[in-house]
Structure 1
Amino acid sequence: MNPVIRALTAALLGLAMLVTPTASQCPLCNFIIGEDPEEELEEMAAGGGIGAPYGADEWMTTQRTYPDKAVDLGQSRAKAIEQANVVRASGGFAAQAAWTSLGPTNVGGRVTDIVVDPVRSNTVYAGAASGGVWKSTNGGTSFSYSWNITLPQSVGALAISPAGVLYAGTGEGNPGGGSVSFPGNGIYRSSDGGVTWTLLGLTGTNRIGRIVIDPADANRIFVAAAGNLFVPGGARGLYRSTDAGATWQLVLAGANSTTGAIDLAISTTSVYVSMWDHVRTPGTRVYGGVGSGIYRSTDGGATWARLAGGLPASSSNLGRMGIAVSKSTPTRLYAIAANTSGNFLGMWTSTNSGTSWTALTNTGPVSSSQSTFGWWFGRIFVDPVSSSHLWVPGVPMVESTNSGSSWTSNSSSFHADQHAVGFDPLVANRVFIGNDGGIYRSTANGSLSGSWTKTTNLANMQFYTVAVSKQDISRISGGLQDNGSRRSWSNWGSYWGGDGLQNLIDPTNQNKVYACSQNGSCGRSTNGGTSMSNFGSTTSSRRAWLTPVTFDPTNPAIMYYGGERLNRSTNSAQTWAAISPDLSRGSSGSSTFNTISTIGVAPSNGAVIYVGTDDGRMWITRNTGGSWTEITAGLPTRFMTRVTVDPTDANLAYVTVSGYTAGDIAPHVFRTTNGGTSWQDISGNLPNAPVNDIVYNPQNRTVLFVATDVGVFTSSDTGVTWTTAGTGLPNVPVLDLDTTVSAGVTQLTAATYGLGMYRVAV
């Protein structure tokens, strides 16, 4: 679908949700989005003010920071990873089993960069947005995980030397607007093809946009550090090493405290860097400024000059820029720019190494491809053997074979949202593309009109939720960022469009399944998802990005749906009735915030329901919504992520909250034994990170499991001490857990945000 049409459609759908408060459904979503949803459907509200979060990024960021808008997410996450590794190293229960990856391997998630090994034949490396580094040894047909499980899993940039030495920069430089991007802790090197990795420093850079190696001197490496997205200052700008990464020098600082480096290119005579002035808070983003622009050095990085000669002048409206040099004709350059809002600003070419520039005029396809998300892309790739052949990533990829005079666009051969192109130096005409759906290969020199083959094995998906059948644990479904709701029993095909969010499988009938897309647009099925029907209308004026839906454990035909009011169905989501007033702190002007974030029904008494909100309130009803009592006292004013009620005692419940604050210590898990009259902090030695879920071991209710942004932890003493659950799970965010008993063994399934599904016997 044309991106402009797509954006208009999204706006209309969003408007419909706003002007029709009783409509819980987006009946057109599945028809319009189909099985290839695009990121821009999430980002239509870009530019919303403080207190008006929107989309996945705002949902996830607000969850991790509310109400502290100024928290340093990068530093907080780095500390949490260190703490998680300490817990991991301390061991755990005597018989810890190993986690197993469940995939899926045929879907794929966001790929940020691709490099092809110049020494090892058929060897390709890919950086994943939140899933580490992946390696193929069969020319891109399949990939395997090639990263250290203890390291940050967000990879922003890759580079490889002529001798096959691989470099990885952690922290995704694409700053997000629709899906969250995570920070990193510096740059790593592997001299053995990704088997082992060594930290080279630049630990405070937070996010790395690009790495280039001088083709004439492999010891000279340049790193574009975008810096901390949320907090000005720190390590950002262009860094250079002349000793293969042993030491680093800042050779170009930004114009101000929010200016970092985002793109790099190198020729036989010059080095070029794109500087980008940008910052964001959970409610606003300023993706441009006077510090943005392209600079050139002709003395190996010692001195720099801002390029003009036709390029945009310094301006508060100048956003992300991309720069590329032709390898075959080093004097030929290309540049692209967006404005602060992400709108396409222009594209230019130079034939004299960047001294003067000519604006390309026939850029309609490029503009359409960038849409309003220029901050998400900002790259150009030039064919190594032809200076006139180039690709510009966007929602669809666009290609020119005549230096930008005309363009070809392709939105049907591969998934939307392009980020990377890799050229095979050992196999002529073999080109790879990386996007939000994985990696695709061309053997026709990357021609968009030619055929493309998708990799068959790349498990770097970002799952929000997981559901497992109680009758057959091989039947798994889950909601995927930018890839819909997927089901294992149909080769992980999409059965509900949009961004996949809440998924449920009826515990008494695995053919009754439920799936939601963004903002509570949900469907139900009685045949395992082969055909879907919309939920009946619910009553709410606000719905979160991830709208909670849950079963009554005593009767799964009874279901609950949370907007700012709690809705109840007694006929498997066919009809609904509101059973609460507004349980939030009231509207702050957003249609997706100040909502219910978690619902817990007591398994021993279905009339007892706990409800938590994203703005820090907890409630209980003991008469199925007839009356409500607030039980917030004793809990922090934070985003309530999950409430779980004891299987036999309706007064015993656990609440998890988001974990980052501006201080050093943040509470995570709370326990009540009196229905919320009082709460006990049982965080113990958990890492200081958001806790996203808490579940029981159904065979031993004294054993708890929690999902955090840095892995899964367990306690057998109700939270006095916590240990790592299982072994071998990478240090990846886990957003949802499921416990299912099969053949007398409890199976714990984790939905990770970056590495697909994992499972361990506990």
Structure 2
Amino acid sequence: MNRHFSRWAFLPLFLLLALLTLPSLDADAQIIRKKGKTSQAEQPPVKEEAKKQETKKNTQPGKEKGQEKAKVLAPAKLPDAWAKVFPFRPLGPANMGGRITAISVFEKDPSTFWIATASGGLLKTNNNGITFEHQFDKSATVSIGDVCVAPSDKNVVWIGTGEANPRNSVSYGDGIYKSTDGGASWKNMGLKGAFQFGKILIHPTNPNIVYAGAMGRLYGASNERGVFKTTDGGATWNKVHFVNDRTGVIDMAMHPTEADTLLVATWEHMRDQFDSWPGEVKKPEGIDGYDPIVRWGPGSGIWKTINGGANWKKLTNGLPSGNVGRIGLDWYRKNPNIVFAIIDAENFGKGLPPITTYLGAAAKDQANGLAKIFQVSPNSPAAKAGIQPGDVVTAVGDKPVKEFKEVVEAIRNKKAGDKISLQVNRNGQTKTMEVNLSDRPERKGQGKGGAGTKGGGGGGFTKGGGRAPSDAYMGVFGEDASNGAKITRVTDEGPGEKAGLLNDDVITEIDGKKISSYQEFIDILQPKKPDDKMKLAIQRGKETKVVTVSLEARPGGANRIRPNAVDLGGQNMNIQDSQGGNGHEFGGVYRSDDAGESWVRINSINPRPMYFSVVRVDPSDDKKIYVLGVSQHGSSDGGASFNSSFGRQVHADGHAMWISPTDGRHMIIGTDGGAYQTYDTGANWDHFNTSAIGQFYHVDISPKLPYMVAGGLQDNGSWSGPGISLQGGAINEDWISVAGGDGYTCRFDPNDADLIFFTSQNGNMGRRNLKTGQISSIRAQRKPGQPSFRYNWNTPYFLSKHNSKIFYCGSQFVMRSLNHGDDLRPISPDLTLTKRGSMSALAESPRNPDVLWAGTDDGALWVTTNGGKDWTNVTKNLGLKNPLWIATIEASRFAEGRAYVAIDAHRSDDDNPYIFITEDFGKTFKPLRNNLPVGSTRCLREDQKNENLLYCGTEFSFFLSLDRGGQWTKMILPTVAVHEVAQHPVIGDIVLATHGRSLWALDVTALRQVKGETFVGQPVLFKPAASIRWRPQPNRGGTNRKFVAANPARGAPLFYYLPKEAAKVELKVFDIEGDVIRTLPANKEAGLHPITWDTMRNSAPGQGGGARQGGRPMGGGGFGLGGFTPGRPVSPGQYRVVLFVEGVEFSQLIQVEADPTAPPSILAEEIFTDWDTLRLQKFPD
């Protein structure tokens, strides 16, 4: 009989078999598998080979005499050694990077440098960025304020832990560390109470002399601040400079040729317990909603020593006379008398209002009442008229002047092309200059006033360091739409809300003129004035409406107080010629030509000072100056003018920068999106995007297989990508952007795998269809008379586990929608304790949809058992001395009254972990900290299969408890903050969202079966998860410059435990007929042993095959074959794994499933091939 004919004759049968072996799918695309234990009668038989070895049969699980007693005494803590058996696999991604805080280059060999991160540790390269290695992964903390390599020895490297940027999500450190082997190992050298470090300096020739600039505690007073010095390599420290217990050191600069001369910038500042400033409580004037509550103080300033810290002098000549804030420093190497500073002043943004005409000369009022020109911008009207630095202005036309503001006011109402006559005194001679005024130069990279981009500052100040905001205010946020400008948010009580504008309205025309983008809308708005009216044609669903908006002046008179301010608490650039004759009082960039003894303000620029304040000068050209910010700014005329074309190709928010001392074209910059390198002064940048240092806040897992993950990142939006890839591990290009802004919680709709929900800062929620790309905004529309909704910076929300159309979120109220977020309405009273408070945690009982929990950032905890009709305040039942930030609430899947509460207290100057359990709807709580070490609690989650298995993420680690919080085991993961734990609804994977090392996955199938009695008594073979025979696609290849995530090991992970060493151990796999199809290597030592059966058979007799018989050790990797395998793959179906320990048999069933993505025809072909192989083995020709 023709063999091929016989195969295809059975095609219908094999197609049916192929379909039957596919994992069955329910409406949610979830794989449904048989649950519960399989009886012995259902298990495949074991043939004579097994019976011959059998002296005593014991099916799993079994009991020995006395085991009941052992069960009572058994420890419940997972042994630390067992934690090593469960390695997490990194999922990445690496394309969006994370916040960089410092860069240190060994300048004798600039191919070696270190990059410090805010929360992801330290990266080192020895080959100019081709590859990086993670260093500092096992230290107590991985938040780094500064890194510094000794100029004389690249093996000596110092790290100051604790980021210095005092934003709301900043972490903290535990002192200063030293390495003497280039970063391979580290030793803590003390100063553990410094918490944050601003700068480290090392003597150029003696690496034992080190200066450490300590910031101190951000959320409270502390004395371990100031400048510390060691002369013995860190064995001892001497505090050589201290101001007060609220003032730390943010920056230091060492004289290029005199190592005992230092400049030190001190900063008095402090954060409070809130991350932002929502609601009706008025912010202190001048404070941005994300600023530290104390931003300026008398302790701030610039100090100088010329004898290594023995004596200090505060520098004041030419600097602001009022309180100042953050300061950045840089010394010019070519001429050490020149030094630059960028200074935040409490009077930032003040001075004369902006003007549209341009003079191009800046002056400082003198004590004798005259205005002396100190700066003339190249090619400006003033320069073309012959005005020079040093000229004293005495008259405008025939009108005498005594202050420079009189010059500014004289040209305020002029327009481009008008002429003005200035009389100046130059070296005792009077000269008259005719100036032909022009329009102010275009300032690129500039936000516009009165409206904001999505997630930006709509209705507030403008963004970055560009031109001043418009006088008019509409109070809307928006983005581009296909037919105009889509409104994504309407500001409460703003002109837009009063006119009836709603979220998701699309503006198609303004005053009869069609617009095609949001940019056109804000360009039209820019020149408008208060009380102007704008007639808007809007599309609202299928309806077209005309709305007239009456513009208003900016809220709170911000422009009147600070007319030169820009968004996020910064000051406009290039306005030093129009701010007035006392412009040095308002902050900006300053220059000294006498090593700091006196200063002149050269530019007004200062973008978001508390977050940036970085100024750098080209070491070989003092005309080239750079200021980092949201955009990156460069000047080629010594600071007279800046533009933001520099750094246009890099991520926003620059924090660190190095410029080569031998070639100013070569730079490295660190941003919120990672680090970049250029060799052409920023014309082109190379992104170092091969290290997964993403700062995730949250993660969710899609129900389908192979599964996707999604989460939000700090300043990098929300993204989705593969948790499992069929092409050898996911790469950066596999990830898709879901939404922008600061990304937070993402949720997949369990009933629609293409529908994903997201949120960015301050309650900007939405949903997106990944198939069509359609985005819809989700935000409650405030009704007249209602208070403004106060959304947390990281707003909690979820889809109901009982009906995914029901959407809950929190403001000061619990809000509910019955239709995917549309028509949100409050279902609770105000649950906060203060008028600044907002909801930070929200949960629903998986057992009862009427049981809801809510927690707030000001420490309130509430529960309802009737769907929101009545709420009970259970805050006091926690037994805390003070209200603390509620981080997460986990309503139990196993008991209706049970819930877990995790509290993050670090904003209240308390770094201890706080975890509680209630069994009675909050009437009583029990603390579960037990053996958890110090480190703020970020999240606590209950396993979905085992009610005693808990997961806890802290500021530094991930912990697991087998006994419902009685004892905790630290799992093996790089030191990092774990903000969330997601569980796949069907398979055994959990995924961690880390804030600094992206996402990590672990299969917890075996862990779910570990109990206290496991550690004593007889051996245990854990029931394996079903194994999917994924059909690998061709690998994409690559080079060293590519990040590739780790896939699960191909095959079926198996785990067995031996309480003591055994004389003989065997591990075999049997098919349904009882034949041994695979013999796996077995370890005889005591302990937990992992092995992966690659779902292959043993090779047939006489078939050849390789030397290797058995499985692979556990571990991540691609879906490659992992080496030569002698046999054929097994067919989908049920198999039996048997562990033989000294004649005793322990067995478990395992299901091998077909690739759910493979077409049935391919599955049928695989079954044909496997059938042929079996037939030839059993019935050879």
TM range, smaller chain: 0.7 to 0.9
Find the residue that maps to 2:610 and give its secondary structure: helix
Find the counterpart in structure 2 of residue 761 from structure 1. Answer: 1003
Residues 672 and 212 of structure 1, relative CA distance in 2, 3 Å threshold: closer
User: How many angstroms does 1:520 deviate by?
Assistant: 1.7
Q: Which of 970, 976, 980 is the equivalent residue of 1:732?
A: 976
- Measured against aligned partners, the alpha-carbon deviations of 1:242-278 in whole angstroms (never above 9, x if no partner) come to 2333332222222x33232221112213322222233
- Residue type at the aligned position of 2:335: T
User: How many angstroms does 1:93 deviate by?
Assistant: 4.6
- Structure 2: 5+ residue runs without aligned partners? 1-75, 275-291, 349-568, 572-586, 723-732, 783-787, 1005-1181
Show the 5 A alignment for 1:621-636. 621-632=864-875, 634-636=877-879
Find the counterpart in structure 2 of residue 252 from structure 1. Answer: 241
Q: Give the Cα–Cα distance (whole angstroms) in 1 for the partners of residues 864 and 268 of structure 2.
A: 49
User: How many angstroms does 1:675 deviate by?
Assistant: 3.3
Q: Give the Cα–Cα distance (whole angstroms) in 2 for the partners of residues 665 and 421 of structure 1.
A: 32
Find the counterpart in structure 2 of residue 175 from structure 1. Answer: 166
- Structure 1: 5+ residue runs without aligned partners? 1-86
- Measured against aligned partners, the alpha-carbon deviations of 1:420-473 in whole angstroms (never above 9, x if no partner) come to 1123568874210111111111011xx24x111211223222211111112236
Find the residue that maps to 1:556 and give its secondary structure: coil
* Kept after mapping to 2: 8 A contact 1:240/1:251: yes
User: How many angstroms does 1:97 deviate by?
Assistant: 0.6
Find the residue that maps to 2:189 and give its secondary structure: strand
User: How many angstroms does 1:738 deviate by?
Assistant: 0.5
* Kept after mapping to 2: 8 A contact 1:473/1:740: no
- Measured against aligned partners, the alpha-carbon deviations of 1:387-435 in whole angstroms (never above 9, x if no partner) come to 3332222222222233323333236321222111123568874210111
Find the counterpart in structure 1 of residue 191 from structure 2. Answer: 202
- Residue type at the aligned position of 1:684: N
- Residue type at the aligned position of 1:287: R
1:380 aligns with 2:622: no
Greater CA radius of gyration, 1 or 2?
A: 2
Q: Give the Cα–Cα distance (whole angstroms) in 2 for the partners of residues 701 and 425 of structure 1.
A: 60
Q: Give the Cα–Cα distance (whole angstroms) in 1 for the partners of residues 98 and 911 of structure 2.
A: 33
User: How many angstroms does 1:213 deviate by?
Assistant: 1.9
- Measured against aligned partners, the alpha-carbon deviations of 1:215-239 in whole angstroms (never above 9, x if no partner) come to 2433322222222223334121122
Q: Give the Cα–Cα distance (whole angstroms) in 1 for the partners of residues 342 and 83 of structure 2.
A: 57
Tell me whether 484-493 or 450-459 shows the greater mean CA deviation: 484-493
Find the residue that maps to 2:698 and give its secondary structure: strand
Q: Give the Cα–Cα distance (whole angstroms) in 2 for the partners of residues 114 and 634 of structure 1.
A: 48
User: How many angstroms does 1:148 deviate by?
Assistant: 3.1
Q: Give the Cα–Cα distance (whole angstroms) in 1 for the partners of residues 698 and 189 of structure 2.
A: 35
> Percentage identity across aligned positions?
33
User: How many angstroms does 1:518 deviate by?
Assistant: 1.6
Q: Give the Cα–Cα distance (whole angstroms) in 1 for the partners of residues 888 and 996 of structure 2.
A: 21
* Kept after mapping to 2: 8 A contact 1:156/1:210: yes
User: How many angstroms does 1:759 deviate by?
Assistant: 2.0
Q: Give the Cα–Cα distance (whole angstroms) in 1 for the partners of residues 897 and 706 of structure 2.
A: 30
Residues 557 and 138 of structure 1, relative CA distance in 2, 3 Å threshold: farther
Q: Give the Cα–Cα distance (whole angstroms) in 2 for the partners of residues 331 and 761 of structure 1.
A: 61
User: How many angstroms does 1:612 deviate by?
Assistant: 3.1
Q: Give the Cα–Cα distance (whole angstroms) in 2 for the partners of residues 382 and 536 of structure 1.
A: 45
Find the counterpart in structure 2 of residue 324 from structure 1. Answer: 330
Find the residue that maps to 1:215 and give its secondary structure: coil
* Kept after mapping to 2: 8 A contact 1:230/1:281: yes
Q: Give the Cα–Cα distance (whole angstroms) in 2 for the partners of residues 755 and 529 of structure 1.
A: 31
1:752 aligns with 2:994: yes
- Measured against aligned partners, the alpha-carbon deviations of 1:82-120 in whole angstroms (never above 9, x if no partner) come to xxxxx9997265674112322211101111111123355
Residues 735 and 424 of structure 1, relative CA distance in 2, 3 Å threshold: same
Q: Give the Cα–Cα distance (whole angstroms) in 2 for the partners of residues 261 and 581 of structure 1.
A: 45
Find the counterpart in structure 2 of residue 354 from structure 1. Answer: 596
Find the residue that maps to 1:519 and give its secondary structure: helix
Find the residue that maps to 1:620 and give its secondary structure: strand
Q: Which of 122, 143, 154 is the equivalent residue of 2:143?
A: 154
Find the counterpart in structure 1 of residue 178 from structure 2. Answer: 189
Q: Give the Cα–Cα distance (whole angstroms) in 2 for the partners of residues 249 and 109 of structure 1.
A: 34
User: How many angstroms does 1:297 deviate by?
Assistant: 2.2
1:397 aligns with 2:645: no
Find the counterpart in structure 1 of residue 212 from structure 2. Answer: 223
Find the counterpart in structure 2 of residue 553 from structure 1. Answer: 801
Higher relative CO (Cα under 8 Å, sequence separation at least 6) belongs to 1
1:415 aligns with 2:406: no
Q: Give the Cα–Cα distance (whole angstroms) in 1 for the partners of residues 865 and 216 of structure 2.
A: 50
Find the counterpart in structure 2 of residue 337 from structure 1. Answer: 343
Q: Give the Cα–Cα distance (whole angstroms) in 1 for the partners of residues 829 and 739 of structure 2.
A: 30
Find the counterpart in structure 2 of residue 600 from structure 1. Answer: 843
Q: Give the Cα–Cα distance (whole angstroms) in 2 for the partners of residues 531 and 126 of structure 1.
A: 38
Q: Give the Cα–Cα distance (whole angstroms) in 2 for the partners of residues 157 and 665 of structure 1.
A: 22
1:526 aligns with 2:769: yes
Q: Give the Cα–Cα distance (whole angstroms) in 2 for the partners of residues 385 and 431 of structure 1.
A: 13
Find the residue that maps to 1:376 and give its secondary structure: coil
Q: TM-score, normalised by structure 2?
A: 0.52
Find the counterpart in structure 1 of residue 394 from structure 2. Answer: none
Residues 276 and 612 of structure 1, relative CA distance in 2, 3 Å threshold: closer
- Measured against aligned partners, the alpha-carbon deviations of 1:140-164 in whole angstroms (never above 9, x if no partner) come to 3553321132321111112112321
Q: Give the Cα–Cα distance (whole angstroms) in 1 for the partners of residues 210 and 922 of structure 2.
A: 57
Residues 748 and 473 of structure 1, relative CA distance in 2, 3 Å threshold: farther
Find the counterpart in structure 2 of residue 568 from structure 1. Answer: 816
Find the counterpart in structure 2 of residue 718 from structure 1. Answer: 964
Q: Give the Cα–Cα distance (whole angstroms) in 2 for the partners of residues 95 and 158 of structure 1.
A: 30
User: How many angstroms does 1:125 deviate by?
Assistant: 0.9
User: How many angstroms does 1:703 deviate by?
Assistant: 0.9
Find the residue that maps to 1:564 and give its secondary structure: coil
1:466 aligns with 2:457: no
Q: Give the Cα–Cα distance (whole angstroms) in 2 for the partners of residues 396 and 662 of structure 1.
A: 33
Find the residue that maps to 1:516 and give its secondary structure: strand
Find the residue that maps to 2:213 and give its secondary structure: strand
Q: Give the Cα–Cα distance (whole angstroms) in 2 for the partners of residues 386 and 663 of structure 1.
A: 45
* Kept after mapping to 2: 8 A contact 1:381/1:392: yes
Q: Give the Cα–Cα distance (whole angstroms) in 2 for the partners of residues 481 and 375 of structure 1.
A: 17
- Residue type at the aligned position of 1:223: A
Residues 547 and 150 of structure 1, relative CA distance in 2, 3 Å threshold: same
Show the 5 A alignment for 1:72-83. none
* Kept after mapping to 2: 8 A contact 1:116/1:425: no
Find the counterpart in structure 2 of residue 485 from structure 1. Answer: 718
Q: Which of 309, 316, 321 is the equivalent residue of 1:301?
A: 309
Q: Give the Cα–Cα distance (whole angstroms) in 2 for the partners of residues 665 and 172 of structure 1.
A: 16
Q: TM-score, normalised by structure 1?
A: 0.79
1:514 aligns with 2:520: no
1:441 aligns with 2:677: yes
- Residue type at the aligned position of 1:463: F
Find the residue that maps to 1:502 and give its secondary structure: coil
User: How many angstroms does 1:507 deviate by?
Assistant: 2.4
Residues 195 and 403 of structure 1, relative CA distance in 2, 3 Å threshold: same
Show the 5 A alignment for 1:644-663. 644-659=890-905
* Kept after mapping to 1: 8 A contact 2:913/2:936: no
* Kept after mapping to 1: 8 A contact 2:273/2:907: no
Find the residue that maps to 2:120 and give its secondary structure: coil
Q: Give the Cα–Cα distance (whole angstroms) in 1 for the partners of residues 78 and 667 of structure 2.
A: 41
Q: Give the Cα–Cα distance (whole angstroms) in 1 for the partners of residues 975 and 231 of structure 2.
A: 31
Show the 5 A alignment for 1:139-150. 139-150=128-139
Number of residue pairs matched by the alignment: 652
Find the counterpart in structure 2 of residue 213 from structure 1. Answer: 202
Find the residue that maps to 1:668 and give its secondary structure: strand
Find the counterpart in structure 2 of residue 105 from structure 1. Answer: 94
Residues 105 and 529 of structure 1, relative CA distance in 2, 3 Å threshold: farther
